[in-house]
Amino acid sequence: MNLKPQIREIFIDNDKIVTISDQVFFQTGNDGVHQWESGIVLSRYLLSINPIGSILELGSGSGLAGITASKYTRSTNITMTDFNRTVLDNIQENILKNSARARVVYLDWRDVTTYTNPADIVIGSDLIYDGAPIQDLVRTILHHMNENGVCYIVMPDKRKMTPVFLEEAERAGLDVVAMELKDWFTCSPHRDVQKGFRDFAELTMRKYFLYTLTRKSNI
């Protein structure tokens, strides 16, 4: 099994490519160095809404979504975060590979004070799995989202803890709207010319949901 990260070109759209270093076979503990399908779906969602506000990404992994926002959307204020040093170094390298402009900072959901700047838009993909600190994640979202901010989380249907996260988010004072992202959002991100390219087959085998979270209004 080859654990050495490989350089991949991810086709977000026909003429919109992000180059990342991707550890194809992921290792538990370093799972952010592996590119997850949800990150591709989130990247395409960002491309489709072309946001203008500041963006803070939680559990950035390879940094694909933040780099996509930097290269292909109007947002010029992007911060990518993770709690794993190897993952953070990989994001930094991926930013350089793409000549993108974004900050990389350490943020552990289990201690929201590790980074405290709120943003207009908080994003994340595939963050809720067995063993993930769900209450801490919800607290982190609330802590880092501006008063009128919004949070977009993309999750595959295979993650059984998602309903627990959604309940916890409602309880903590967030409204949640769910929407399935399909068709263009889940099409293959590679071209035939990329010999041996991992096909991200789960994109077409699973359903992907966008959860939009906002603060409940007090009226």
Ligand X SMILES: C[S@@+](CC[C@H](N)C(=O)[O-])C[C@H]1O[C@@H](n2cnc3c(N)ncnc32)[C@H](O)[C@@H]1O
Residues 83-102 that bind ligand X (CB under 6 A): 83-84, 87
* Per-residue mark of binding to ligand X, 115-144 (x: CB under 6 A): ----------xxx-----x-----------
Residue 21: name the closest of 90, 95, 96, 92 by CA: 90
The backbone torsions φ and ψ at residue 212, rounded to the nearest 5 degrees and listed phi first, read -105, 120
- Asked if 39 touches ligand X (CB under 6 A), the answer is yes
- Asked if 45 touches ligand X (CB under 6 A), the answer is no
Q: Which alpha helices (H) appear in the chain, and where do they start and end?
A: 37-49, 64-72, 85-97, 134-144, 162-171, 202-205
Q: Which of 51, 61, 156, 189 binds ligand X (CB under 6 A)?
A: 61
Burial label, 7 (beta-carbon count in 10 A; 0-12, 13-18, 19+): exposed
- Nearest distance, CB of residue 135 and ligand X, angstroms: 11
- Asked if 36 touches ligand X (CB under 6 A), the answer is yes
* Per-residue mark of binding to ligand X, 15-34 (x: CB under 6 A): ----------------xx--
Residues of this chain that interact with ligand X (CB under 6 A) are 31-32, 35-36, 38-39, 59-62, 82-84, 87, 107-110, 125-127, 133
